[in-house]
């Protein structure tokens, strides 16, 4: 995916984060996901957009500065170090982000004003809520707008953020098109398998599981090797 088509994300509309994680594994691309505690404020929420990082030091001005650089469709990725003693994003920041046309906010930390955020309707993921805001502000790091940590991963403008009810995944923009194609193939295979199960063909039958057990005993192959040989997609 080039810079010219970075905002054409229609290929991701029907791809779940699970499909994308499996696609990364199939392509040998590191799977980078947000910590499991990051959850959407509302079920059914989806986000897909280029990352716009912002490292919080106790003041909202870093978010406003990030928006000065942002373009519509991006995702504000807020790094508050995973702190659980304060919230760093509330309703006013969310309103400003929505007015700027961004696709959502991902917070490695806490939010507040939960009722107002739900009313605003902007997709938001965070590690939880707290009524208290920062007690003090520290000097802003020189690279506060260049990278944001989210758990063990650093996120930059070279990343695509995709999020849904299962959480968030960070994809290198340079590989986004290849990941989307692989994820679509996995999705289509899984849909065919589910349809066949509903029609009466068990998953074991579709996977030729008896053949696998014999091949495992005779040749020592793994289940993943068997699945790739027959075009299965249940694991990568």
Residue 155: strand, helix, or coil: strand
Strand partners, 76: 52, 105
The Cα 153–Cα 170 span in angstroms is 9
Q: Is 90 annotated as a binding residue?
A: yes
Question: Is 91 marked as a binding-site residue?
Answer: yes
Q: Report whether 200 belongs to an annotated binding site.
A: no
User: In angstroms, rounded to a whole number, what is the distance separating the alpha carbons of residues 211 and 225?
Assistant: 12
d(CA 52, CA 224): 37
Task: Kindly give the pairing relationship between strand 110-111 and strand 87-89.
Answer: parallel
93 is in an annotated binding site: yes
CA distance 68 to 65: 5
DSSP string, 47-93: EEEEEEEEE-SS-THHHHHHHHH--TT-EEEEE-TT-SS-EEE-HHH
H/E run at residue 191: helix 176-198
**How far apart are alpha carbons 66 and 52 in whole angstroms?**
7
Per the annotation, binding residues for Mg(2+) are: 113
Per the annotation, binding residues for substrate are: 90-93, 112
Per the annotation, binding residues are: 90-93, 112-113
């Amino acid at each position: 995916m080039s810079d010219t088509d970075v905002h054409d994300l229609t290929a991701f509309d029907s791809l779940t984060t699970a499909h994308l994680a499996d696609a990364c594994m199939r392509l040998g691309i590191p799977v980078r996901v947000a910590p499991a505690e990051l959850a959407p404020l509302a079920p059914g929420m989806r986000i897909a957009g280029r990352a716009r990082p912002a490292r919080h030091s106790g003041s909202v001005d870093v978010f406003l500065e990030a928006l000065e650089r942002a373009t519509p469709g991006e995702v504000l990725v807020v790094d508050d170090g995973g702190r659980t003693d304060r919230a760093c994003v509330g309703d006013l920041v969310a309103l400003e982000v929505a007015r700027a046309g961004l696709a959502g906010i991902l917070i490695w930390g806490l939010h507040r004003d939960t009722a107002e955020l739900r009313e605003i309707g902007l997709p938001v993921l965070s590690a939880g809520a707290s009524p208290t805001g920062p007690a003090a502000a520290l000097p802003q790091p020189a690279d506060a707008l260049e990278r944001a940590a989210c758990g063990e991963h650093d996120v930059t403008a070279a990343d695509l953020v995709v999020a849904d009810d299962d959480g968030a995944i960070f994809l290198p923009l340079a590989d986004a098109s290849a990941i989307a194609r692989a994820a679509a193939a996995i999705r289509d295979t899984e849909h065919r398998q589910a349809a066949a199960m509903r029609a009466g063909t068990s998953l074991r039958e579709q996977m030729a599981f008896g053949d696998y057990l014999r091949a495992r005993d005779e040749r020592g192959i793994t289940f993943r090797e068997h699945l790739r040989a027959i075009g299965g997609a249940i694991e990568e």
